[in-house]
């Protein structure tokens, strides 16, 4: 009798699966799966001659090397940025969208990863929709902050349900993490808008965890950015504030410290072929860490020649200030440049001048041949001959 019950259960389960599959097929009837492929590839072969290298005994010697790009780090299709091949397949089936990314590089293997999977049903989307926070990178390299990892970008979002209406985005969100605290939840809000020459954005998120101590501080992030665009100039500025633990004890207790950062850019073109800019940032504005910096620059083009000059000022005492100058000549497929960087000019002993020069020729088929030379005092003297192509 017991055996009959098991068999009956299997039969009922099989029938239920068949009915479920039929209903699922009916619900998706007429929804075709659309796929689209895109490819990015890059290769650079280099011949390096290091006149200030060291031999096996540690003595100074000329060292030569032939390699595939100096960094062996493929991440984009710009010639010289690395080498490799990446294929992207986007997949759309009704409200479902995702993709597969195939990457081949110096490991001689193909790595496959799935792009974010998102379901979009009108104003509602859910799944791996990502964060609504954008003000952390609004202007002048504000996303360069690395001292506290990625917490200055808002709390990580692995899962969310989002509602979008015009410029407003509201979502309940959390981090799909298998480590403690593993269960967290919160809300993210962002609004983008514009009025005449002004565009603006404000965003925020708040996160808590049921596995943190009862008196733990919630993670919060609030930011805002604004851009003004006119005929002769563009100005943008942003500010954000967030909290984060900085010690192991704070991580364990849930205690957090407050941080803030800001950035701005002002770019103007007063006359044709002349542009000037002033940029500033402080990625730790709430603390006395001398992290503020200003960058002023000007660029002028006359025919085939472009001249650029920059001055970088840092709040750090006796360190960090830098002067950069560059001249670029471009005539069709032929390009040549020369540049000089004077580093730490406010220090008691400034760095030796870093000098670079090079020439390149790009053929009609996109293949680029180049020769570069870099030197700095008695520490660097290096030639590089390269051939590169990217798409």
Concatenated DSSP letters of 172-193: EEE---SSSS--EEEEEEEEEE
β-pair type (118-121, 184-195): unpaired
What is 110-160 written as a DSSP string? EEEEEPPPEEEETTEEEES------GGGSSTTGGG--TTTTGGG-S--SEE
Distance, in Å, from the CA atom of 323 to the CA atom of 300, rounded to the nearest integer, reads 17
Please check whether residue 193 lies inside any domain of the structure: no
Give me the mean pLDDT over the 112-135 stretch.
93
Residue 26 belongs to some domain of the structure: yes
More confident residue, 232 or 72: 232
Residue pLDDT, tens place only, 19-54: 444 545 545 555 689 999 999 888 888 999 999 888
Rounded Cα distance, 102 and 197, in Å: 42
Q: Which residues pair with 227 in a beta bridge?
A: 199, 236
Fill in the DSSP letter of residue 213.
-
331 pairs with which residues across the strands? 334
In whole numbers, what is the pLDDT of the chain averaged over residues? 84
Task: Say what the pLDDT of residue 3 is.
Answer: 35
Distance of CA 328 to the CA centre of its chain: 27
Tell me if the bond preceding 181 is cis, omega within 30° of 0: yes
Supply the pLDDT for residue 114.
87
Question: What is the C-alpha separation between 150 and 244, in angstroms, rounded?
Answer: 10
Q: Is residue 225 part of a domain?
A: no
Within a domain: 10: yes
Amino acid 161: pLDDT: 96
Domain count within the chain: 1
**DSSP symbols for 2-50:** HHHHHHHHHHHHHHHHHHHHHHHHHHTTT--EEEEEEEEEEEEEEEEEE
The reply to whether 67 falls in a domain is no
Residue 307 covered by a domain: no
Domain that holds residue 23: 1-30
> Residue 223 above 90 pLDDT?
yes
Q: How many residues does the chain have?
A: 391
Sorted by sequence, the CB contacts under 8 Å of residue 196 that are 6+ apart come out as none
Residue 7 lies in a domain: yes
Task: Determine the Cα–Cα distance for residues 105 and 88; give it in Å rounded to an integer.
Answer: 15
Q: Per-residue confidence at 359, pLDDT binned at 50, 70, 90? A: very high
Q: What is the dihedral of CA 156, 162, 168, 174, to 10 degrees?
A: -20
Q: What is the pLDDT of residue 138?
A: 92
Is 94 among the domain residues? no
Residue 152 near residue 136 (C-beta atoms within 8 A): yes
């Amino acid at each position: 009798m017991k055996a009959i019950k098991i068999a009956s259960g299997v039969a009922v389960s099989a029938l239920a699966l068949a009915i479920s599959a039929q209903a699922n097929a009916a619900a998706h009837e007429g929804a075709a799966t659309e796929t689209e492929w895109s490819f990015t590839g890059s290769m650079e072969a280099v011949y390096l001659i290091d006149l200030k290298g060291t031999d096996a005994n540690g003595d100074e010697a000329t060292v030569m090397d032939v390699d595939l790009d100096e960094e062996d780090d493929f991440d984009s299709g710009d010639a010289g940025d690395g080498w490799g091949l990446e294929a992207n397949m986007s997949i759309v089936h009704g409200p479902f969208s995702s993709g597969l990314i195939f990457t081949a590089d110096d490991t001689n293997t193909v790595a496959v990863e799935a792009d974010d999977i998102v379901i979009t049903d009108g104003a509602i989307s859910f799944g791996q929709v990502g964060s609504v926070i954008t003000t952390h990178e609004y202007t002048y390299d504000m996303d360069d902050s690395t001292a506290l990892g990625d917490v200055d970008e808002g709390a990580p979002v692995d899962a969310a349900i989002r509602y979008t209406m015009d410029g407003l985005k509201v979502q309940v969100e959390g981090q799909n993490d298998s480590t403690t605290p593993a269960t967290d939840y919160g809300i993210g809000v962002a609004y983008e808008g514009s009025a005449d020459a002004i565009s603006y954005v404000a965003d925020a998120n708040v996160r808590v965890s049921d596995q943190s101590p009862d008196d733990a501080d919630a993670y919060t992030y609030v930011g805002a950015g604004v851009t003004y665009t006119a005929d002769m100039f563009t100005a943008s500025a942003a500010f954000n504030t967030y909290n984060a633990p900085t010690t192991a004890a704070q991580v364990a207790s849930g205690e957090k410290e407050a941080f803030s950062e800001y950035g701005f850019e002002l770019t103007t073109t007063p006359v044709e072929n002349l542009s000037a800019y002033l940029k500033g940032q402080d990625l730790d504005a709430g603390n006395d860490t001398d992290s503020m910096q200003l960058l002023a620059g000007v660029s002028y083009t006359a025919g085939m020649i472009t001249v650029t000059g920059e001055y970088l000022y840092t709040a750090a005492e006796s360190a960090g200030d830098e002067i950069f100058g560059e001249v670029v000549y471009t005539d069709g497929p032929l390009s040549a440049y020369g540049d000089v960087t004077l580093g730490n000019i406010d220090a008691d002993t400034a760095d030796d001048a870093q000098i670079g020069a090079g020439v390149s020729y790009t053929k009609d088929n996109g293949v680029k041949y180049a020769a570069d030379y870099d030197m700095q005092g008695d520490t660097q003297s290096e030639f590089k001959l390269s051939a590169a192509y990217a798409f």
